[in-house]
Amino acid sequence: MSIVVNINHHKKKKIDFKLLNQMAYSKELYIGTFDDAYRYERYTGKNDIRNVPFILFYKKLFGRGFSFLVDDDYNVELTLNYPCSVIDIVIFYKFITMYCKYFNLDKFTQEGEVYSLDDIEKLQVEADDFNKRIVCKELKVGLTIFGCIYPIVIDDDLVLKLRSNEEDKAYNYFAKYLDNLQRPMYYYAIPLIYKNNDKYIAKYGLTKDVSSIFPINTYLPFGYNQKILDNITSWSVAIIENQEYSITCEIPYNDFCKLININKLPKFDYKHKLVTIDDKIMTKISKYKIEKAKDELSNWLSDYRELGHKPSKIEYTNEFVTENIHCYIFKYKKERFSKWYLGIVSDSGTFSEFKEYKKETEIDDAKEIIKLLSEFWKKTAENIDK
């Protein structure tokens, strides 16, 4: 449900971004665009703004704002979506009034009907009454509304609050609800989709110490091609920890949710929680990575071409990085009463020379294995090229 207003310039007047930005500034409005997942982003395009869908919203109370679109002939279409906050309705009609006066236009069309600026007050009251009824009586749990900053999925707590309060109080509460969710500097996590032949993989990227809006269950946001959903073979979470914005680790989505204990995290909305990758979670992730590396070495040793069975005992001892290669060092026993042997799991591969483990030389011994693996992969690549 929405209100659509069209303003015809009769091909005589033009508007560009500089002028639109000045108009927005005069009414204390932010201006920007949406990405494919309907998240707000700053506009950095050219001055000619034809066919660019903009979002304008009030700086002092974040609601849903309204959209602004200029066609090829510089005619304008403004759209206000329901449900919205009362301030969205106010700024919508104030902007229309200012716009028409600036271009000396006394008529505009709303939903196919022609109106003059004298009708603004009546139209605003009608919009406000209709919107209030939707907000207070008709909002449903699970409904996604596109806020001025990012999508919000209506939750049961909000609906209960709106239904249990008198109308005016509930109406104001809804406006504050939209502002409270969108005002903080959260990162809204969306999956990055990568094609792998006829299949796809999906990855969420989270940055350490950044509060993020994270989905309770995997899904494709509005604006994505929903037809590929059944062809996504894996969902994972990539953790970005350093200033170079490189990925420090990648974890399957379900494993990550268990690590962060997602059910106990603060709720953002019906479909999302708030998560911050802090030092405590990073410690859990480090232990998780060690356990995964341990399993990988154990499986490698189980191959009939190697040890031929799982080691009797295996323990993590150390880790290091050399030439951008991350390496985990383990010691293991072939049998219960055998001596300890050295094995590694690294970015270059998993391997053991079945060499006796010595604590004092473990890093040097592991580096020798990495060197051996590097030479092996180099020769393999050379043979492929021949």
Is the distance from CB of 58 to CB of 66 less than 8 angstroms? Answer: no
Is the distance from CB of 232 to CB of 219 less than 8 angstroms? Answer: no
- Of 376 and 229, the structure prediction assigns the larger pLDDT to 229
> What pLDDT does 375 receive?
84
Distance separating alpha carbons of residues 213 and 100, to the nearest angstrom: 39
Mean pLDDT for 346-353 is 89
Q: Cβ-count burial of 357 within 10 angstroms (0-12 exposed, 13-18 middle, 19+ buried)?
A: buried
pLDDT band at 364 (very low <50, low <70, confident <90, very high): very high
Is the distance from CB of 300 to CB of 306 less than 8 angstroms? Answer: yes
Mean pLDDT for 3-16 is 83
Look at 89-93, 138-142, 216-220, 374-378 and tell me which has the smallest mean pLDDT.
374-378
* DSSP helix/strand/coil, 248: strand
Express as a percent the part of the chain with pLDDT over 70: 96
Q: Could you give the C-alpha distances from 113 to 67, 108, 125, 292, 294, in angstroms and in order?
A: 19, 8, 17, 65, 70
Mean pLDDT for 364-370 is 91
Distance separating alpha carbons of residues 377 and 356, to the nearest angstrom: 25
Distance separating alpha carbons of residues 311 and 327, to the nearest angstrom: 20
Q: What is the DSSP letter of 106?
A: -
Mean pLDDT for 232-252 is 81
Give the Cβ contact number of residue 235 at 10 Å. Answer: 18
Tens of pLDDT along 183-235?
998 999 999 999 888 889 999 999 988 999 999 999 998 888 888 898 999 99
Is the distance from CB of 286 to CB of 296 less than 8 angstroms? Answer: no
Express as a percent the part of the chain with pLDDT over 90: 66
Look at 76-90, 143-157, 195-209 and tell me which has the smallest mean pLDDT.
195-209
Beta bridge partners of 329: 318, 344
Assign 3-state DSSP to the chain and report helix, strand, coil percentages, each to 5.
35, 30, 35
Short-list 69, 70, 66, CA closest to 94: 66
Tens of pLDDT along 31-40?
999 998 899 9
pLDDT band at 254 (very low <50, low <70, confident <90, very high): very high
Q: What mean pLDDT, rounded, does the chain reach?
A: 90
pLDDT band at 381 (very low <50, low <70, confident <90, very high): low
Distance separating alpha carbons of residues 132 and 150, to the nearest angstrom: 22
Longest alpha-carbon distance in the chain:
94
Q: What is the DSSP letter of 356?
A: B
Is there a cis peptide before residue 215, judged by omega within 30 degrees of 0?
Answer: no
Sheet-wide strand order for 54-58: 40-41, 29-34, 54-58, 66-70, 76-81, 2-7, 107-110, 113-116
| Residue in the structure block whose two tokens are 């005992």 | 313
Residue 386 has pLDDT above 60, yes or no: no
> What pLDDT does 245 receive?
61
Tens of pLDDT along 277-335?
999 998 998 899 999 999 999 999 999 888 899 999 999 999 998 888 889 999 999 99
CA angle 326/330/332 to nearest 5° reads: 155
Is pTM, for the whole model, over 0.85? no
pLDDT band at 7 (very low <50, low <70, confident <90, very high): very high
Give the Cβ contact number of residue 48 at 10 Å. Answer: 13
